[in-house]
């Protein structure tokens, strides 16, 4: 497989800065998915280190600001007002107002590049997924592939290919997340209000999945696993919830024999989930964005993966145990399983418990 950083730019990297002055203001359009934002942080760090005199602005959905706002290499956050004609016009106005010299687009969508194109940002870098997208860029990379077929790679490497294409050196592959004192304090208050023993070890559970139900490990499996972790290791089960996840959290709590703490009122912000994971002895998570919060903080995490391709998150495996059932229908990448969901139901509580014991022993 060809490394994405070696793919051909329309302008070779060695000529970029001879053709363009080094930028004073850079805007990076971050991904829309939570986990992808975390996996983009090594690339953001490389951009700032490689061009330290430039201001680094981050554009993205407003709720994503809480996980990157306090990172030392992020100077400003520019919220995307959303879709629709009026919001698109406002987005273009904001991008034009700040007079950016360089726009780096992490998502592949034409929409992510349309705003910088209309704002007349002179240099626009990203992947060329299709001809429309290519027309919106001044410099483009081909998606990583082999024999003209796209091949899934770790998103860390995929995003790092963009600063590499500018001739910038990597600054490591460590993931970063922002933890504010306000989120630490609010999280502590919510744990106390819920009756959690804040001196005892906790297991943070992430049973939801924005992608779809096919990513979700069964509620009954979670319940059996968490009961045994409490009995054997004294771990309190804490389930922070985002919008629409309250029913799953209460379903697990109701299926358990012992106590469980579904934190559903109020729901947790992304920044609070980051702060909560910092306190965890263990995290058990579906293949969903907050999983990367644990990886970034070096918290051991066990991840049952079903329909998705594990190669896009195949990194920092010393910190996580990825459990896969080798069924012939995966990875289907479907949001809802059309059959019996065997890729997830066959990952037993015993397998997750064995992985959890191994990880806790390793990180004790």
Give the pairing of strands 139-141 and 261-263.
unpaired
- pLDDT at residue number 93: 97
* 209 pLDDT tier (thresholds 50, 70, 90): confident
Q: Is the pLDDT at 9 greater than 50, yes or no?
A: no
Domain residue limits, the chain:
4-165, 182-362
Task: Supply φ then ψ for residue 204, to 5 degrees.
Answer: -85, 130
Q: Fold match between 4-165 and 182-362?
A: yes
Q: How far apart are the C-alpha atoms of 152 and 312, rounded to whole Å?
A: 6
- pLDDT band (50, 70, 90) for residue 145: low
Nearest 5°: the CA angle 318, 153, 348 is: 50
Question: Which residue shows structure tokens 């592949």?
Answer: 108
Q: Which two tokens stand for residue 258?
A: 């012992």
Which range among 7-21, 92-106, 213-227, 239-253 shows the weakest confidence by mean pLDDT? 7-21
Q: What CATH number does the domain located at 4-165 have? A: 3.40.50.2000
Average pLDDT over residues 327-349: 90
CATH of the domain spanning 182-362: 3.40.50.2000
Q: Which residue is listed with tokens 């391709």? A: 309
Half-sphere exposure of 107 (CA within 13 A, CB side): 19
**pTM of the predicted model over 0.75:** yes
User: In 50-158, at which residue ranges do the beta strands (DSSP E only) sit?
Assistant: 55-60, 76-79, 102-105, 123-127, 139-141, 145-146, 149-150
pLDDT digits (tens, 9 = 90+) for 36-61: 999 999 999 999 999 999 999 999 99
The rounded distance, in Å, linking the Cα atoms of 105 and 124 is: 8
Please determine, for residue 7, whether its predicted confidence score (pLDDT) is greater than 60.
no
- Cα 300 from Cα 293, distance rounded (Å): 11
Average pLDDT, the chain: 90
In 3D space, the residue among 72, 53, 59, 44 whose CA is nearest the CA of residue 160 turns out to be 44
> How far is the C-alpha of 45 from the C-alpha of 39, rounded, in Å?
11
């Amino acid at each position: 497989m060809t490394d994405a950083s070696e793919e051909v730019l329309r302008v070779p990297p060695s000529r970029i800065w001879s053709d363009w002055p080094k930028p004073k203001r850079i805007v990076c359009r971050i991904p829309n998915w939570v986990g992808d934002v975390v996996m983009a942080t090594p690339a953001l760090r490389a951009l700032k280190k490689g061009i330290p005199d430039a201001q680094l602005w981050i554009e993205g959905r407003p709720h994503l600001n809480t996980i990157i706002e306090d990172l030392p290499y992020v100077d400003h956050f520019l919220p995307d007002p959303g879709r629709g004609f009026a919001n698109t016009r406002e987005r273009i106005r904001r991008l034009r107002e700040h007079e950016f010299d360089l726009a780096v687009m992490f998502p592949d969508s034409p929409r992510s590049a349309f705003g910088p194109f209309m704002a007349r940002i002179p240099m626009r870098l990203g992947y060329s997924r299709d001809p429309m997208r290519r027309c919106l860029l001044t410099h483009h990379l081909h998606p990583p592939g082999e024999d003209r077929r796209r091949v899934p790679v770790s998103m860390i490497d995929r995003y790092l290919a963009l600063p590499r294409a500018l001739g910038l050196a990597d600054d490591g592959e460590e993931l970063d997340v922002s933890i504010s004192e306000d989120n630490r304090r609010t999280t502590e208050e919510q744990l106390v209000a819920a009756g959690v023993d804040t001196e005892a070890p906790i297991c943070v559970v992430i049973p939801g999945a924005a992608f779809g139900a096919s990513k979700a490990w069964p509620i009954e499996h979670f319940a059996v696993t968490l009961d045994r972790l409490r009995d054997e290791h004294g771990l309190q089960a804490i389930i922070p919830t985002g919008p629409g996840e309250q029913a799953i959290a209460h379903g697990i709590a109701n299926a358990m024999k012992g106590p469980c703490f579904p934190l559903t009122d109020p729901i947790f912000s992304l920044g609070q989930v980051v702060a909560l994971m910092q306190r965890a002895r263990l995290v058990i998570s579906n293949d969903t964005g907050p999983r990367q919060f644990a990886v970034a903080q070096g918290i051991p995490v066990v991840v049952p993966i079903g329909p998705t391709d594990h190669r896009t998150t195949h990194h920092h495996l010393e910190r996580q145990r990825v459990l896969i059932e080798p069924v012939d229908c995966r990875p289907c990448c479907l949001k809802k399983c059309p059959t019996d969901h065997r890729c997830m139901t066959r990952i037993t509580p015993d397998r997750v418990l064995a992985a959890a014991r191994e990880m806790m022993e390793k990180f004790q």
